[in-house]
Amino acid sequence: MSTPWPSACRCWTASPSARSRKVAKASTLKEYPTDLTKAEDHIKAVCERMRDYGKKVREAIDTTDEAGDADTADLFTAASRTADKDLWFMESHLE
């Protein structure tokens, strides 16, 4: 099934599978580095991925809103608010 929705919405267009390998393969987030040893580097890596995730969720808000699906747009809005708040907390450790 083809859909114009961004990748954040695609999880709802196929049959669900919670297998970590399948989820990781379908993820559009940059792979987490395995060679980091300093806490600050880990925080920076998490923040980078959180920013990317937030951007994708905001795209999903616009897409679902334009499609007339206000309920789903509201769900993505709540997810976006939580992601933005969590990113803010993470970034505060870098100051």
From the list 88, 11, 17, 16, the residue with the least C-alpha distance to 54 is 88
Mean predicted confidence (pLDDT) in 45-73? 95
pLDDT > 70: percent of the chain: 81
Question: Per-residue pLDDT for 67 more than 60?
Answer: yes
Strands (E), the chain: none
Average pLDDT along the chain: 86
Please write the tens of the pLDDT for every residue from 20-57: 788 778 888 888 999 999 999 999 999 999 999 999 99
- Residue 79: count other Cβ atoms within 10 Å of its Cβ: 17
AA identity, residue 17: S
**Helices and strands (H, E) in the chain, number of each type:** 3, 0
What domains sit in the chain, N to C, each tagged with a CATH number? 36-95 (1.20.1260.10)
